[in-house]
Chains A and B, each alone.
Chain A
């Protein structure tokens, strides 16, 4: 059974790229266009991992992390941040909020796929 990924990014171009890359990598891919959309889609998708951008309208990536970590039913759900941001203070905030990992764009396909496999097996 495929690993189910929910990718949240406000850029349609990024969403299409992630869908293409991760589908090629053997994952079942679902997308959402911002944090609110992603949170609303969570129950129906029941993903094995969430990938989220940080800078998004309506609800940003930190909002996604905080909302998921506040819900007992999603305890243990891995959350991977995929962003253009590389500042250490932002990484620290994500770690304190309960994110599982942080990947800086532009990403390497093999590293992204390998990271998803690693954190969904653990």
Chain B
């Protein structure tokens, strides 16, 4: 967390006068996780350094979700890190579809991908490129983004409205450390 860090608040979609999700129930999304909700009382939050959070919302079905991922080696190629980034995206999209969202209606907002002092080099940039490419490839419009820079971010996202807000965290050390990525196990293949 950014305990003691100074915050610069920035409303990303420009439609709110109060902090997004104030008074709502908070669910924090950590690295490697995703959360989906159609509950108007829920706000999803996360803290990002090099990691990227993809926020998706179907404004018609009023369901949305957030993932939080870090490509382990920062490379955009067909390796296991790329696969896990892709998995993070697919799990989020599938989670939304199961709650009634339709892919053609999905709208995205992207956050994170910073290159922080003492951080993880250019991994943040690679994460941002990966996320943008994925959305473009899948035809999901990116309505707003705040990627890159040198500061960590605290993000709040209201999944049912798509309203998002970020706070830039000064004096914040890199909060993202790559989680160990295990290769697919033997039990991932089942022949009937």
Question: Does A63 belong to the interface (CB within 8 Å)?
Answer: no
Beta-carbon contact of B137 and A84 below 8 Å: no
A30 to B142, CA, bound (A): 29
Q: Which of B83, B89, B138, B192 contacts A107 (CB 8 A)?
A: B83
Interface size on A (CB < 8 Å)? 30
**Structural contact, A95 and B192, CB atoms closer than 8 A:** yes
A10 interfacial by beta-carbon distance below 8 Å: yes
A1-56 contacts to B, CB under 8 A, are 10-14, 16-17, 20-21, 55
Shortest beta-carbon distance, B92 to chain A, in Å?
10
In the complex, chain B residues 124-155 whose Cβ is within 8 Å of any chain A Cβ: 134, 137-139
Residue of A whose beta carbon sits closest to that of B134: A13
Contacts of A84 in B (CB 8 A): 87, 90-91, 94
Contacts of A59 in B (CB 8 A): none
Residues of A within 8 Å of B183, CB to CB, are 108
Chain B residues in 8 Å Cβ range of A16:
137
Any B CB within 8 A of the CB of A104: yes
| A62 neighbours in B (Cβ, 8 Å) | none
Do A103 and B189 contact each other (CB < 8 Å), given the known contacts A12-B137, A55-B98?
Answer: yes
Contact partner of A55 (CB less than 8 A), chosen from B89, B94, B189, is B94
Given contacts A55-B98, A100-B191, A111-B189, contact A106 B138 (CB under 8 A): no
Q: Identify the A interface with B (CB < 8 A).
A: 10-14, 16-17, 20-21, 55, 57, 84, 86, 91, 94-95, 99-108, 111, 115, 118-119
Which B residues lie at the A interface, using CB under 8 A?
Answer: 78, 80, 83-84, 86-87, 89-91, 93-94, 97-98, 102-103, 134, 137-139, 183-184, 188-192
